[in-house]
Amino acid sequence: MTKGQRAFVAGALSALGLLGLPVWANAAEEAASAAVPEINGADTAFVMVCAALVMLMTPGLGLFYGGMVRRKNVLATFQQSFVLLGVVALQWVLFGYSLAFSPDVYHGLIGGLDYVGLNNVGFAPNADYAATIPHQLFMVFQLMFAVITPALISGAFAERMKFSAYILFTLLWATFVYDPVCHWVWSPNGWIKGLGALDFAGGLVVHIISGIAALCCVLVMGKRKGLGSEDMHPHNLTMTALGTGLLWFGWFGFNAGSALAANTSAVAAFVNTNIAAAAATVSWSLIEYLHKGKATVLGTCTGAVAGLVAITPAAGFVTPLGATIIGLLVCGVCYGAILMKSKLGYDDSLDVFGVHGVGGMFGAVAVGLLAKAGISANPAGLFYGNPGLLTSQVLSVAAAATYSFIVTFGILKLVDALVGLRVTEEEEEVGLDLTQHGERGYIMGAGEFLGGLPDQVHPAIALKKAAPVEYSVTV
């Protein structure tokens, strides 16, 4: 080949290469875009709404609990739920989310520090958890679960824990109990997830560990002053009924949102949530009528919550008939657990263990029995031919419950040594609204307090009178 011919061939090849550059560039761009999950607008909007619904459950819980205590403790009880929207949210953003959901660092037990301060938590989806919504949205949806879980515990020791002790306890409990168990169950490499155990929306992660922690708290802290000799009846069941309605409403987001997409799994969870709550409402009322001769409003509300608790781990895994069975049967189990409270001699003020602990365990085991394959890409349970799932469920319940009790016990002892757990007897007599927050829940006009000043009940504590509370409205 002559020198001129070689130059011609080289020029031709160069021209072809230049013409092919757009083709190669487009192919590279397509490969890169295919590697990054795309955000789905419908899924994103759906999960955003669900996160807002779950947020509403926390003040709903405050109303639910607040109506069941005596009026001198209504604000303190509400505050124990509401304040966690700030306290636990900050913990979650700073390091809690990282411990729960960042890549595993030790045998499925805990996450690392990759997401501290939400570092590396951006708008791009994280395919390990939710491939069609922004990573930040998944984080904030899970934040709402982290907030309400320790709030559930507060009903057990209502009317007797110091506010300072409560804040310290909550921060430690969220860090050393909630975050690790969340990692065990919902991280791709979590050891309980590796067992094959299923927890659709938090039977293990939310209800079992909070219910067991509640039992530990009341065993360590002891009974309320005057229990058995003073009137401990709920002061405002209308408030409790309103709180129940908000909880039921928010639970649609809690369970359906756990599908993390607007799909058939979310629909199944949505439908099953309502069915289980409805069945439990009827079941509890019937049991109460047969036992006491009357179906109370408080019983109806408690039954609804028990049904919602029990369906939480199963919502996306069972059929509507399965949800009905869960709702009908859980009330008998929880009702019996609450009856045993007085016989065993512990003071679970608002029956957190009896409803959330027992109800959550019942629901988790029910998954092992009633799960039907394919509803949410899940295996079947025992009644559909797979006994292995039941074994995984029982082991996971035992592990989560044991861990929660042991670590909660240690946290309580530490908090007691640092700041003391309980208010004084005099403060308990006056009520936590005045002694912990300097406020009264009910003012019927200019200086008229419903039922008289709380400290009139006990003349020996006249020195505990709070200064007049001034109110102002900032526009």
Tell which residue, 337, 331, 343, has the closest CA to residue 305: 331
Q: What is the pLDDT at residue 342? A: 85
Helix axes 74-82, 163-173, angle to 10 degrees: 30
- 434 has pLDDT over 60: yes
Q: For 11-43, how does the pLDDT look when each residue is reduced to its tens digit (9 = 90+)?
A: 544 443 443 434 434 444 444 444 557 899 999
Is position 212 within any domain? Answer: yes
User: What is the pLDDT confidence band of residue 444, given thresholds at 50, 70 and 90?
Assistant: low
Is position 75 within any domain? Answer: yes
Of residues 8 and 70, more confidence is placed in 70
- 459 has pLDDT over 80: no
Is position 409 within any domain? Answer: yes
Of residues 448 and 78, more confidence is placed in 78
Is position 94 within any domain? Answer: yes
Is position 25 within any domain? Answer: no
- C-alpha to C-alpha distance for 240 and 201, rounded to whole angstroms: 24
Is position 396 within any domain? Answer: yes
Is position 30 within any domain? Answer: no
User: What is the pLDDT confidence band of residue 280, given thresholds at 50, 70 and 90?
Assistant: very high
Q: What is the pLDDT at residue 377? A: 87
The CATH number of the domain holding residue 228 is 1.10.3430.10
User: What is the pLDDT confidence band of residue 443, given thresholds at 50, 70 and 90?
Assistant: confident
Mean pLDDT along residues 93-108: 96
Per the structure, how many domains does the chain have? 1
Average pLDDT, the chain: 90
- 458 has pLDDT over 90: no
- 388 has pLDDT over 90: yes
pTM score over 0.75: yes
Q: Tokens 């991280």 label which residue?
A: 187
Mean pLDDT along residues 283-292: 97
- 454 has pLDDT over 90: no
Q: What is the pLDDT at residue 445? A: 60
Residue span of the structural domain in which 343 resides: 41-425
Is position 154 within any domain? Answer: yes
Cα separations in angstroms, 455 against 235, 315, 423, 469, 471: 18, 48, 15, 15, 21
User: What is the pLDDT confidence band of residue 449, given thresholds at 50, 70 and 90?
Assistant: low
